[in-house]
Amino acid sequence: MLIVRLVSRMGATMIESVVALLMFVNAEIKEARLQENMAGCLRGKRHAERQFSESVTYKCWKGSAELEDNIDGSKSIKKLIIE
């Protein structure tokens, strides 16, 4: 699911290198979803863009993010780290 694991670990959150599908509403990030790889991200982007909305755009992004563990054992993005 995640590409490279970095060394930092802080309790239940960790910083890792990820591929994420970002949803922008009026040029502001509203949601960031973890993706397994860039191909899966681009596939999800194409699927999401089929429901056209003028104020909503999607972008695939590769970088670092602070992740947290969910109750069901999955991981989600808590914070993007823009370098």
Using one digit for the tens of pLDDT, what is the confidence trace for 7-22?
Answer: 444 446 789 999 999 9
Instruction: For residues 19-41, give the mean pLDDT.
Output: 96
Using one digit for the tens of pLDDT, what is the confidence trace for 43-81?
Answer: 999 999 999 899 999 999 999 999 999 999 899 999 999
DSSP H/E element including 44? helix 38-48
Q: What's the whole-model pTM score?
A: 0.80
- Measured in whole angstroms, the distance separating CA 53 from the mean position of its chain's CA atoms is 20
> Cα dihedral angle (19, 21, 25, 28), rounded to 10 degrees?
0
> What residues does each domain of the chain span?
4-81
Query: Based on the number of CB atoms within 10 Å of its own CB, is 56 exposed (0-12), middle (13-18) or buried (19 or more)?
Result: middle
Q: How far apart are CA 59 and CA 69, in angstroms?
A: 24
